[in-house]
Structure 1
Amino acid sequence: MPVIDFRVRPPFRDFLGMVMYGQPERRDRFTRQLGFEPSRAATEQSVDLMLAEMDRAGIDIGVVIGRNSGLLGSVANETVLDFVGAHPGRFLAVASIDATNRKAASAAIDRAMADGFRAINIEPGACAIPMQPDDRRLYPIYARCEDERIPVIMMTGGNAGPDLSYSMPVALDRVLADFPSLKVASSHGGWPWVTEILHVAFRRPNLYLSPDMYLVNMPGMADYVAAANGFLADRFLYASSFPFCPIDSYAAWFRTLPIRPENMERIMYGNAAAFLGLTDEASA
């Protein structure tokens, strides 16, 4: 079956200035805590080795996401577009915006959609001025994306802000209620608030979850898997969170999870394809 890895950060240009490449000891500590050995592609900062990992893992498409964050490092949309363009058919681009500047964000969305980006990435807690997901400064951006059917990826788990409050699901729940037609994917899957984010996903059908690195041998893993086998089967997203997890080792581990085969196919391809609009194009 085809596979989409929903969160890949390649060792390329602006990405190398991000914390995950700029602080390799921190990254590799996370990797080993999850039970993996660090990826050679990450330690040697090699795109070719990353592509080889994707081939070994059977990953057909990687989703490459821009970032606008003073806290974690930024990746310009132009960098994402150049990388995706250099590897036609292998990657999909997601644009990031300056969420603190409504007019600049609106212009960036216009450019991104014209350039073929698939979604918009917003990391409220990692902005230069940290915000909660339900900060009213973000509402015009959400409204724009809902009206134009632009999916939004939002980091609302893990290291989502200066303290744990920025990953708490309550604020995201309010956003999903206020914009019921806006498709939102939570990168890092709302971890560590696993029970709470699963409740939000149960009551808000516009929420997709991508626990990625925080699924691996972590508290709450069994609950995520239970949801993937049940009500969340069509909204659970497969993602390695490379370079924190090696693409090939993560894929091999993920395929051992007790997830029903028909759900595994949705999780590793169909759900991401639907979220990013690939299925709409195929049926057109």
Structure 2
Amino acid sequence: MPIPEGQPIIDTMIGFPMRDPKQAYAHITRQTKDAESRERLKMPAGYMFKDIPDHEGLQEDPVAVTLAEMDKHGIAVGLVGLRSEEGRRAVREHPDRFVGCLSVDPNKGMDAVREIVAMHAEYGIRAVDVFPAGTFPQVAINDKKMYPIYAKCVELDLPIFVCAGVPGPRVRMEPQKVEYLDEVMYDFPELTLVTRHGCEPWTDLAVKLMLKWPGLHYSTSAFAPKHYPREIIDYANTRGADKVLYAGYFPMGLTLDRIMRELPAVPFKDSVWPKFLYDNAARILKLT
């Protein structure tokens, strides 16, 4: 079904061009062991993507570049990371277009919790995110080091975005097994948790867990639309219209040109598009 004309979009995973990708991804590549990941790939999962946006040596303002791309494709609001100066500046200078998400490392213990509180007070962050397989040492989705993070998100009424499924970078997959979500949602029934990066090869299990747990959601980050899992499309078209959120992957691995070119071919029902592209994220991020 076609996307409704003029439908606004909230992109729950967008970023800014990186002049020095090697430095930007050092926190991931430091735990890889193969030479290609360490020395030759543009980004840690670069072997999986074609036509990765290349902005090395960029002279333009990275925030302006992303804003122009958003305007071109009808993206009203972007959820951006606040680890970079560009992310913090974007939220300060364009609060109507960008909202902040703080990436945290549960290995830091209470320092990570204090950082959430501080960034919530200073920047009004709308979400927290964790990349379990990318932490060093790795921390699994259900590791008790994660529990203070989950508890603080519940206390501040913040959603948490968590990567689940086999990671793209060549690191161990064990921390991101989808089955671990069941324990977390059992222990934190008030938590709003949104998965990132596909949940493959356990998308069937992810759907079953979303049916079970009201606070569990799925975002389409890092997937070109023609590769959205069939199980997720079918779920959104039936009982999961309120549970599936749009997320892109610009500029990390996909161009918005490609995403928006392929998106209209996704067989969502007419009633699903507004929820997928805007309403679900607006509710979760409290933008309404």
Task: Give me the TM-score of the superposition, normalised by structure 1.
Answer: 0.82
The residue type paired with residue 55 of structure 1 is: D
On the 8 A contact 1:191/1:211 being kept in 2, the answer is no
User: 2: CA distance between counterparts of 1:167 and 1:226?
Assistant: 23
Aligned Cα root-mean-square deviation (Å): 2.7
CA offsets, 1:53-96, max 9 Å, x none?
22221111111124xxxxxxxx35x5522232233421111012
Structure 1 residue 114 corresponds to structure 2 residue 134: no
Structure 1 residue 156 corresponds to structure 2 residue 164: yes
On the 8 A contact 1:157/1:186 being kept in 2, the answer is no
- Aligned-partner SS, 1:176: helix
- Aligned-partner SS, 1:4: strand
Q: Matches of residues 46-195 of structure 1 in structure 2 within 5 Å?
A: 47=62, 48-66=64-82, 75-76=83-84, 79-115=86-122, 116-159=124-167, 162-195=171-204
On the 8 A contact 2:203/2:232 being kept in 1, the answer is yes
The residue type paired with residue 209 of structure 1 is: Y
User: 2: CA distance between counterparts of 1:221 and 1:274?
Assistant: 24
- Ranges in structure 2 where 5+ consecutive residues have no aligned partner: 1-6, 27-39
On the 8 A contact 2:165/2:199 being kept in 1, the answer is yes
Partner of 1:248 in structure 2? 257
Shift of 1:173: 1.5
Q: Matches of residues 2-13 of structure 1 in structure 2 within 5 Å?
A: 2-11=8-17
User: 1: CA distance between counterparts of 2:239 and 2:56?
Assistant: 38
User: 2: CA distance between counterparts of 1:140 and 1:25?
Assistant: 30
The residue type paired with residue 95 of structure 1 is: L
Greater helix fraction, Structure 1 or Structure 2: 1
- Aligned-partner SS, 1:261: coil
Moved more, 42-51 or 245-254: 42-51
User: 2: CA distance between counterparts of 1:232 and 1:252?
Assistant: 24
Partner of 1:198 in structure 2? 207
Shift of 1:238: 0.4
User: 2: CA distance between counterparts of 1:137 and 1:25?
Assistant: 27
Count of matched residue positions in the alignment of Structure 1 and Structure 2: 264
On the 8 A contact 2:237/2:269 being kept in 1, the answer is yes
Identical columns (%): 27
On the 8 A contact 1:215/1:224 being kept in 2, the answer is no
Partner of 1:71 in structure 2? none
Assess, with a 3 A threshold, how the Cα gap between structure 1 residues 278 and 142 changes in structure 2: closer, same or farther: same
Moved more, 138-147 or 224-233: 138-147
Partner of 2:243 in structure 1? 235
Shift of 1:249: 2.0
The residue type paired with residue 232 of structure 1 is: G
User: 2: CA distance between counterparts of 1:93 and 1:181?
Assistant: 22
User: 2: CA distance between counterparts of 1:206 and 1:241?
Assistant: 24
On the 8 A contact 1:9/1:15 being kept in 2, the answer is no
User: 2: CA distance between counterparts of 1:143 and 1:26?
Assistant: 30
- Ranges in structure 1 where 5+ consecutive residues have no aligned partner: 67-74, 280-284
